[in-house]
């Protein structure tokens, strides 16, 4: 039995990565926090992982803009927005 409560998801296709945004219903029972963590699984994406000396990790994920829009990371096309300009 899964304890995942889905927030948003999309199956992977030949041209787009899949994703599953969810929270675990047991997190609140274990930690007793008012606001539980959310989890994001990405299927079919390029990833660069760096581990620091103190054991933390830094993850860079390459996403198509359409997937980023579906996740709410960038505005929908055609809503008065232009393509994002990468920082220099």
Question: Does residue 22 contact residue 73 with C-beta atoms inside 8 Å?
Answer: no
Per-residue pLDDT tens for 33-87? 667 889 999 999 999 999 999 999 999 999 999 999 999 999 987 765 555 566 5
In the chain, where the domains are located = 4-70
What was the pLDDT predicted at 30? 65
Q: What does the pLDDT read at residue 25?
A: 86
Lowest mean pLDDT segment, chosen from 5-9, 11-15, 25-29, 66-70: 25-29
Q: Please give the model's pTM, rounded to 2 decimal places.
A: 0.73
Q: What are phi and psi of 52, to 5 degrees?
A: -90, 170
| Residue 15: pLDDT over 80 | yes
């Amino acid at each position: 039995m899964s304890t995942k409560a889905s927030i948003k998801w999309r199956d992977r296709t030949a041209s787009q990565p899949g994703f599953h945004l969810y929270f675990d219903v047991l997190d609140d029972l274990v930690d007793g926090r008012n606001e539980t963590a959310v989890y994001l699984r990405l299927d079919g994406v390029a990833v660069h992982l760096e581990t620091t000396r103190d054991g933390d990790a830094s993850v860079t994920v390459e996403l198509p803009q359409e997937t980023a829009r579906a996740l709410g990371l960038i505005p929908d096309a055609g809503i008065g927005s232009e393509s994002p300009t990468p920082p220099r």
